[in-house]
């Protein structure tokens, strides 16, 4: 099992690296673009897993940070293209189309927004936490709808994709590899994070917050830091989504988007980091297949999800690599033993 847990991610990575040239050769280049959407959704889902699967924080507003990252990216890109500076409180901020500037800014601002929202939301717990994260995401949704200068309800179209250190990386193939690089970088960092002292505190907080406080740890501070880190990664995912789609709209922050990400995490396996990426793959695959079959694809999609959650309680990733004990999905080990 331990070997499979190590080999499986590398095998998937090798597959992903090899796919674009193969798809192009097979004249199926359309799928490269679809795969890029899967990757950035996978990044968003994996970032949610950090707080949901490891920290036990059920956020129903994770799309808020996608939206912040996406809009920061989109707004600066559009100013960069138009050549007019963004004026904020008397300060002129020039736009740009350089990914090495745009992506860090989008990531950091999304993290700061997550820090502010998290500081309020983490005063609550349980159902209240779910509702208040949802409420904040909806507030941002309406904020974006109200931004008439940037398309309001209709969203903001961009003319091109960002450059990377001046290089043109606007092709679908380059965009795919850029997104894949970001995803892999996040997974490597997050993997280290969850096994570090910080990560152990976050995992312990999910199991027994009161005990952790009694041990002398200021639990809220750690949870908030984790919430902000997850927000940063979601912001990066949002920026990459906008870069790929060359379009940003309030739909990105809609609560159904938060729900989708949540489903990807649960489907793929909470507390596995790789699982949510697999969850995104399966989610898009099902959507693609079912919507080609009927326009009422949601009617089949819903039951399929319910069955998946009922029968693979630890998530799809654990079917591949086996169980880990001390993460949210790992709790289902009792059931798994009975079935197996």
Partner 1 sequence: MVDPSPPTLELKGLCKAFGGITATDNLSLTVAAGEVHALIGPNGAGKTTTMAQITGEIRPDAGHILLDGRDITTLPVHARAALGIGRSFQITTLFPDFSALDNVAMAVQAKAGTSFRFWRPARQESELRDPARDALARVGLGDRTEVPAGDLSHGEKRALELAMALAGRPRLLLLDEPMAGMGPEESPRMVDLLLALKGSVAMLLVEHDMDAVFTLADRLTVLVTGAVVASGEPDRVRADPDVRRAYLGEGDHAPC
Q: Under the rule (CB under 8 A), what is the footprint of partner 1? A: 192-193, 195-201, 203-204, 207-208, 210-219, 222, 225, 325-327, 330-331
Nearest to 74 by CA among 271, 317, 307, 239: 239
Kindly tell me which of 90 and 340 has the beta carbon lying closer to partner 1. Answer: 340
Q: Which is nearer to partner 1, 128 or 192 (CB)?
A: 192
Cβ distance to partner 1 smaller for residue 197 or 338 = 197
Closer to partner 1 by Cβ: residue 16 or 229: 229
Q: How far is the CB of 212 from partner 1 (least distance, A)?
A: 8
233 Cβ contact list (under 8 Å, min separation 6): 43, 44, 46, 47, 50, 107, 186, 190
Asked whether 315 and 275 are in contact (CB, 8 A), the reply is yes
Inter-CA distances, 230 with 138, 226, 250, Å: 19, 6, 20
State in angstroms the smallest separation of the CB of 119 from partner 1: 17
**Do 102 and 76 touch, CB atoms closer than 8 A?**
yes
How many angstroms separate the CA atoms of 302 and 192, rounded?
35
Q: Which is nearer to partner 1, 115 or 251 (CB)?
A: 115
Take residue 17 and report the two structure tokens written for it: 């690296």
Which CB sits closer to partner 1, 217 or 304? 217
CA-to-CA separations, 136 to 16, 61, 253, 280, in angstroms, rounded: 35, 7, 10, 24
Alpha helices in the chain (DSSP H): 2-25, 30-49, 63-82, 99-121, 126-145, 172-195, 197-207, 209-214, 219-245, 255-268, 274-293, 297-311, 316-321, 333-339
Nearest approach, Cβ of 51 to partner 1 (angstroms)? 15
Contacts (Cβ under 8 Å, ≥6 apart) of 251: 155, 257
Q: Kindly tell me which of 194 and 265 has the beta carbon lying closer to partner 1.
A: 194
Q: Which is nearer to partner 1, 24 or 331 (CB)?
A: 331
Report d(CA 186, CA 170) in Å as an integer.
Answer: 22
Q: What is the spatial distance between Cα 258 and Cα 19, in angstroms, rounded to a whole number?
A: 28
């Amino acid at each position: 099992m331990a070997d499979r847990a190590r080999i499986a991610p590398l095998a998937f990575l090798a597959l992903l690296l090899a796919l674009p040239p193969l798809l192009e050769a097979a004249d199926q280049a359309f799928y490269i673009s679809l795969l890029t959407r899967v990757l950035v959704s996978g990044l968003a889902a994996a970032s949610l897993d950090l707080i949901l699967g490891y920290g036990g924080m059920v956020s129903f507003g994770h799309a808020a940070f996608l939206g912040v990252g996406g809009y920061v990216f989109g707004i600066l890109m559009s100013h960069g293209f138009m050549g007019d500076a963004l004026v904020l409180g008397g300060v002129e901020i020039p736009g740009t189309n350089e990914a090495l500037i745009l992506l860090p800014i989008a990531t950091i601002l999304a993290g700061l927004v997550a820090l502010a929202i998290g500081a309020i939301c983490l005063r609550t717990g349980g159902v209240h936490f779910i509702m208040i994260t949802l409420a904040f995401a909806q507030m941002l949704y309406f904020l974006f709808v109200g931004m008439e200068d940037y398309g309001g309800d209709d969203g903001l179209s961009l003319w091109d994709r960002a450059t990377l250190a001046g290089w043109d990386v606007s092709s679908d193939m380059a965009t795919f590899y850029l997104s894949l690089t970001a995803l892999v970088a996040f997974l490597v960092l997050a993997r280290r994070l969850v096994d570090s002292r910080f990560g152990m505190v976050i995992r312990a907080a999910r199991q027994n917050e009161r005990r952790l406080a009694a041990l002398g740890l200021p639990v809220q501070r750690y949870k908030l830091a984790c919430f902000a880190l997850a927000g940063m990664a979601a912001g990066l995912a949002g920026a990459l989504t906008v870069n790929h789609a060359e379009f940003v709209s309030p739909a990105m922050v809609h609560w159904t988007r938060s729900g989708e990400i949540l489903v990807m995490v649960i489907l793929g396996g909470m507390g596995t980091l790789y699982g949510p990426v697999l969850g995104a793959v399966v989610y898009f695959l099902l959507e693609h297949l079912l919507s080609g079959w009927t326009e009422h694809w949601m009617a089949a999609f819903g039951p399929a999800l319910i069955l998946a959650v009922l029968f693979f309680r630890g998530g799809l990733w654990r079917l591949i690599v086996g169980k880990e004990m001390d993460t949210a999905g790992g709790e289902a080990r009792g059931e798994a033993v009975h079935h197996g």
